[in-house]
């Protein structure tokens, strides 16, 4: 069952690469390409969360979160928080502390989720605004 650990380690590295690709280029709202990269990172982190939950036999999907807790006015800052938690979760995963890894990776995932959600809402509002004009 070591294969899932190698796959998860690879996924976490790839998620970090995606965030690091977007981070220096962000200035204001995320572009559609940046949203795609954040979405890719989110999917990899979410997959890792699932694999860890299965390994430690945790049935709880975590707690419901308030988007307000993870809403940061600056997209770059939100990406930094997501990256910091991703790095912490990756370190704990490498050490074999799956419970602590899970907690940090969930935090990272939540920041990424709110970024994506915010970008989609902005895009939808702009779309509605241009139709109504």
Residue 94 maps to a domain: yes
pTM value is 0.86
Query: Which residues are within 8 A (CB) of 100 and not within 5 positions of it... i.e. 6 or more apart?
Result: 89, 92
Domains contained in the chain, number: 1
Backbone φ, ψ for residue 2 (5° rounding): -75, -25
Residues 78 and 7: beta-carbon distance below 8 Å: no
Residue 125 maps to a domain: no
Mean pLDDT of 90-117: 95
Q: In terms of Cα–Cα distance, which of 42, 44, 38, 57 is closest to 7?
A: 44
pLDDT digits (tens, 9 = 90+) for 14-52: 999 999 999 999 988 888 899 999 999 999 999 999 999
Residue 133: per-residue pLDDT: 42
Residue 34 maps to a domain: yes
Residue 132: per-residue pLDDT: 47
Calculate the average pLDDT of the chain: 88
Does position 13 have pLDDT exceeding 80, yes or no? yes
More confident residue, 63 or 112: 112
pLDDT band at 11 (very low <50, low <70, confident <90, very high): very high
Residue 128: per-residue pLDDT: 67
Residue 123 maps to a domain: no
Residue 126 maps to a domain: no
Residue 128 maps to a domain: no
Residue 105 maps to a domain: yes
Does position 131 have pLDDT exceeding 90, yes or no? no
Q: Report how far residue 92's alpha carbon sits from residue 102's, in angstroms, rounded to the nearest whole number.
A: 9
Residue 66 maps to a domain: yes
Domain encompassing residue 30: 2-118
């Amino acid at each position: 069952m070591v294969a899932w650990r190698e796959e998860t380690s690879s996924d976490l590295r790839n998620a970090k690469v995606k965030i690091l690709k977007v981070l220096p280029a962000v200035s204001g709202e995320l572009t559609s390409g940046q949203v795609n990269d954040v979405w890719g990172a989110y999917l990899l982190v979410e997959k890792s969360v699932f694999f860890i939950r299965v390994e430690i036999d945790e049935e709880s999907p975590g707690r419901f979160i308030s988007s307000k807790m993870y809403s940061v006015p600056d997209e770059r800052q939100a990406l930094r928080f997501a990256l910091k938690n991703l790095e912490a979760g990756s370190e704990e995963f490498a050490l074999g502390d799956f419970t602590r890894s899970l907690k940090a990776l969930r935090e990272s995932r939540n920041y990424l989720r709110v970024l994506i959600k915010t970008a989609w809402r902005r895009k939808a509002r702009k779309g509605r605004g241009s139709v109504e004009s």
